Structure 1
Amino acid sequence: MYKKISIILFTFFGVTISNAQENILLKDYSPKSIYKIPITVIEKAKFPVIDMHSHPYATTDAEIEQWIKTMDKFGIEKTTILSYQTGKKFDSIYNVYSKYEGRFEIWCGFDYTGYNEKGWSEKAVKELERCYRVGAKGIGELGDKGEGLVYSKPTKAYGMHIDDDRMKPLLKKCGELGMPINIHVAEPYWMYEPIDIHNDGLMNASDWKIDTSKENILLHAALIKTLENAVKENPGTTFIACHFANCSYDLSIIGRLLETYDNLYADISARYAETAPIPRYTKAFYEKFQDKLLYGTDMGMEPSMYETTLRILETEDEHFYEKELFNYHWPLYGLGLGDTILKKLYYENAKKIID
């Protein structure tokens, strides 16, 4: 009798568990750590910080003033606003943020209007010089995910990449004016892979995916090559490959470029979730390239965002999730970076570029 009841219960609960597994959708998967381990709350960065990668999220004086309060709370001395913009739109952003002297540095984009027409490069250089006179301190964020330089506004430059001959006068002029260039090339590698059961980044695949079937699109390796070509051909111009040049899956790729070219840096913005799951390898990378890495966020201006980035960099916390910021299934781990590295990452490396 007892044996019969046991078999029935086992069958019932076994079927229930099996059905539950089959009915849970991947997009709804949101694990919580079961480990009872230390949780560190970072109230302020250990050393002063310059955020080298942000955008004009705040659009009113009240929002900017609240942002500054948040910056003060977490020890962010200055934030670089990568506006993408040229023309009157850049001027308006500059006028809003420049009122808060010393707290923001505003960078412009390139104007690609007429980029397929003869004489475009000269016109674009003139607009660059005008933005510089207004107060632009650098260029960014430029962006090429394979179809061309499409981030700057108001015009997308489909088919033109950073190493195009038409770009040479602009890149050279940036060096002459002392304007660093922040550029986004490629995307995290899982975005190029099939959306199947083996894709390690599948949690984000519904929102972020590279259509590799598009005609004339450059894939990951080819985009890294365009970056290298531009950096190599313009030794007098400083380049910042944002997001580790999207080489978080293989940091040795950007590592080789950082070793080879004195005029290349990398910012760590918006790739915390991609590097924190491999803390020992990532920490070794930070140690090796501590003179070439820049703190950046690129994830808004909420207090929780700063707290998470600082927790990953400063603590040795283990196996935690941050679903609000990152939609991955990967647990995160603190890197526990040493003081010397943190000082360079947060502040000293940035001062070499913007002062």
Structure 2
Amino acid sequence: MNPTALLLALASTLAAQAPDQLLLKDYRPRSIYKVPVTRVEKAMFPVVDMHSHAYAETDAQAAEWAATMDRCGIERTVVLVTEPGKGFDEAVKRYGKFPRHFQLWCGLDLSGFDQPGFAAAAVAELRRCHRAGAKGVGEITDKGGGLAGNKGGMHLDDPRMDPILEDCADLGLPFNIHVGEDQWMYEPADRTNDGLMNAFTWKIADSPSILRHDAVVATLDRAAARHPRTTFIACHFANCSSDLALLGSMLDRHPNLYADISARYAETSPVPRATAKFIAKYQDRLLYGTDMGMDAGMYGITFRILETQDEHFYEVDQFGYHWPLYGLGLDAGILRKLYRDNALALMKRVERP
């Protein structure tokens, strides 16, 4: 049997499967509501994507990505190169061929975090990357176990990080930080968890050595307070999708803190009124981002969620959740800030002569 026939046979089998035999991972609901379906292939305003990664593995793929950006209205993409050293140097060679499209940020060398001289070595590598073209730092990740490969217990508010964070301020480098995961990943993976499929994939271990959600988010709160000259970007709504008020309270306290909305469209669009209200309130502090690859369809999904008032639609294959999604219907003024103006204002804020 050829591959196409095999796929058709499998689809037919699944379609005919008895409901009590259907696995949740195979569930692909289709909305039967007769409501508007809007395709948004190009953003309403030029976009600065503040959160992406080095997805292109060849020069040809980078060129294709740049062409896709042009079609979709993405003016520039921030490529977060999490590996310092050779990883960053290779990214410079590839993405440096497209200076209009891509801006590179670098990772940190945290390998010697428990050794004397750690901070000096990390700062030296940071400054080398800055000279090579890095315009920011990130994505630096702590899912509760620590920053250094999620082990060792060194969190963002650790005194060992102070010289690095201060150097970011001196160099004019904003700092993108990923703290924790969303609340579903801390809940039991049982029948009560409405984000079960993604929660199972990204589950945080229940261990005394790993900070729980609010505790790891609090490390960012303390670091932002201790380093008011440093500009922080809490990516993914600071993983506070289920409690945006927690992020809001930090934004209220720290004018040096921003948040990007990358890869949390599915987590926030099921509650469109609450999310739209939050975005309106903090419209000067939020940044568009994707963190989901480089294809046109992905961009279009984000535009649909942000720009339209479409109701009850699914994007299971993109996001992994079986929740119906809803457009936020943000007004043009807010969209312009979210898509572009806030990113430009942030870079101007950190700019050094």
By the TM > 0.5 criterion, same fold?
Answer: yes
Equivalent residue for 2:250, pick from 238, 257, 268: 257
Aligned AA (1:192): Y
How far apart, CA to CA, are the structure 1 residues paired with 2:332 and 2:152? 43
Give me the whole-angstrom Cα distance separating, in 1, the residues matched to 2:105 and 2:157.
Answer: 21
SS in structure 2 of the partner of residue 206 of structure 1: helix
How far apart, CA to CA, are the structure 1 residues paired with 2:227 and 2:200? Answer: 38
Q: 1:203 to 1:88 in 2, by over 3 A?
A: closer
Is structure 2 residue 156 aligned with structure 1 residue 158?
A: no
Measure, in 1, the Cα distance between the counterparts of 2:252 and 2:63: 40
Distance 1:42 1:200 in 2: 28
- CA separation of 1:150/1:201 partners in 2, compared to 1, >3 Å: closer, same or farther? farther
Equivalent position SS for 1:158 = coil
2:291 equivalent to 1:298 = yes
Hey, what does 2:177 align to over in structure 1? 183
Corresponding residue number in structure 2 for 1:5 = none
2:93 paired residue number: 95
For 1:225-259, what per-residue CA distance to the aligned partner results, in whole angstroms no more than 9, with x for missing partners?
A: 10001111000000000000000001000011111
4+ residue runs over 3 A deviation:
none
Deviation sequence 1:213-235 (CA, Å, 0-9, x none): x2411010111110001111000
Matched, 1:112 2:105: no
Q: Secondary structure at the match of 2:313?
A: coil
Aligned residues: 332
CA distance in 1, matches of 2:239, 2:279: 16
Partners of 1:224 and 1:115 lie apart in 2 by 21
Alpha-carbon shift at residue 88 of structure 1 (Å) = 2.1
- 1:44-74 CA-partner distances (Å, limit 9, x unpaired): 1000100000000002111011101110111
CA distance in 2, matches of 1:205, 1:128: 34
2:81–2:87 CA contact under 8 A, matched in 1: no
Cα deviation, residue 150, structure 1: 4.1
Q: Distance in 1 between matches of 2:42 and 2:236?
A: 23
CA distance in 1, matches of 2:90, 2:185: 35
Instruction: Provide structure 2 residue ranges, at least 5 long, that are not aligned to the other structure.
Output: 1-16, 349-353
- Describe the SS at the equivalent of 2:201: coil
Q: Does 1:323 align with 2:316?
A: yes
Instruction: Supply the distance in 1 between the matched residues of 2:106 and 2:198 (Cα, whole angstroms).
Output: 30
SS in 2 for 1:351: helix
Show the counterpart of 1:289: 282
Match of 2:122 in 1: 124
Q: Which has the larger radius of gyration?
A: 1
CA distance in 2, matches of 1:69, 1:44: 13
TM-score by length of 1: 0.91
- The answer on 1:353 being equivalent to 2:346 is yes
What CA distance in whole angstroms lies between the structure 1 residues aligned with 2:307 and 2:152?
40
User: Which residue pairs with 1:145 in the alignment?
Assistant: 143
Equivalent residue, structure 2, for 1:20: 18
The yes-or-no answer on 1:200 pairing with 2:191 is no
SS at match of 2:125: helix
Q: What is the CA distance between 1:260 and its match in structure 2?
A: 1.2
Distance across 1 between alignment mates of 2:104 and 2:226: 26
SS at 1:149's partner residue? coil
How far apart, in 2, do the equivalents of 1:124 and 1:177 lie?
14
CA distance in 2, matches of 1:286, 1:301: 25
Equivalent in the alignment of 2:13? none
Structure 1 alignment gaps of length 5 or more: 1-18
Shift of residue 157, structure 1, vs aligned partner? 5.0
Q: Percent identity over the alignment?
A: 57
Report if aligned partners of 1:112, 1:157 keep a CA contact under 8 Å in 2: no
Q: Distance in 1 between matches of 2:39 and 2:255?
A: 36
Specify the alignment match of 2:31 in structure 1.
33
- Per the normalisation by structure 2, the TM-score is 0.92
